[in-house]
A = this chain, B = another copy of it.
Amino acid sequence: MPINCKNCPLRRHELFATMSSDDVAFMQDMKQGEQHVAPGTVVFSQGDKPDHLYTVLEGKGLRHKTLPDGRRQVVNFVMPGDFIGLQAGVMGEMRHAVEATTAMTLCIFNRSDLWKVFQNNPSRAYDLTYLAAIEEHLLGDALSRMGQHGARERVAWSLHRLYRRDVAIGAVAGDGSISLPFRQQDLADALGLSLVHTNKTLAQLKAENVARWERRRLFVHQPETLAQIGLVEQLQPETRPLM
């Protein structure tokens, strides 16, 4: 029994921009159902021209690019509320892969309906552009970190970002930890670091009692120390559209 958009639990969080009830109804109408995928499932492959686009309702995953020489860059981590496949929807094909790390629940949309959004619902069309712009902004940020900062800053920055996002959707356990179901190799591939060096940097943050990542869970003991190390600027809480 799929969730009704009106009651979508994600919508409650402040992270997501409020929608008019018309827009909610519109989305409900476009929603084709839900899909559950197992951990490790490749939702999109690089080069895919998929028929469906998805909003992530539950679970976490990775976006990554495979380069001509076989190396892998993790472009982003996929979190609940993310809309995936827009790039292919608009450009024709996926330029990166999306892989589920945990089990995921996906809200299904038809790619062919994308055009109808632009024709019939300007405000939702605007939100699609908004989403693409946010993605661009996030990547620009990541690029800057990679280009200008060292391993310690990068690791702290990345952990901080993952933590903030989960806090924003209330995905914090009683012990204050969040789910971080990735391998150190994934973080290394995201930050352009070697596995070994990533490991040593994480060990350092742990020894300083700033943050501890083990058993697929991240404990941030000193959030703003982490922010300091990661050179995170004071940012007004951002909101983003939810499709």
Q: Which residues of A are at the interface with B, using a C-beta cutoff of 8 A?
A: 65, 67-69, 71-73, 75, 86-87, 90-91, 95-96, 115, 118-119, 122-123, 125-126, 128-130, 132-137, 139-144, 146-149, 189-192, 231-233
- With A122-B125, A129-B129 as contacts: A231 and B147 at CB distance below 8 Å: no
**Contact among B95, B118, B147, B231 for A191, CB-based, below 8 A:** B147
Contact B67 A231, beta carbon cutoff 8 Å? yes
A194 smallest CB distance to B (angstroms): 11
Contact A133-B132, Cβ < 8 Å, known A68-B233, A140-B95: yes
Extra inter-chain contacts (4) besides given A73-B140, A91-B133, CB under 8 Å: A90-B133, A95-B137, A96-B140, A147-B190
4 cross-chain pairs, A with B, having the tightest CB-CB distances, nearest first: A147-B192, A132-B132, A73-B144, A139-B139
Q: Which residues of B contact A139 (CB under 8 A)?
A: 136, 139-140, 143
Chain B residues whose CB sits within 8 angstroms of the CB of A130 once the complex forms: 90-91
Known: A73-B143, A73-B148. A125 touches B129 (CB 8 A): yes
Would you call A75 and B132 a contact (CB within 8 A)?
no
Report yes or no: B129 in contact with A90, Cβ–Cβ below 8 A: yes
Closest approach, in angstroms, between the C-beta of A108 and any C-beta of chain B? 20
A69: chain B residues within 8 A (beta carbon): 148, 231
User: Which among B142, B147, B189, B191 is the interface contact of A189 at CB below 8 angstroms?
Assistant: B147
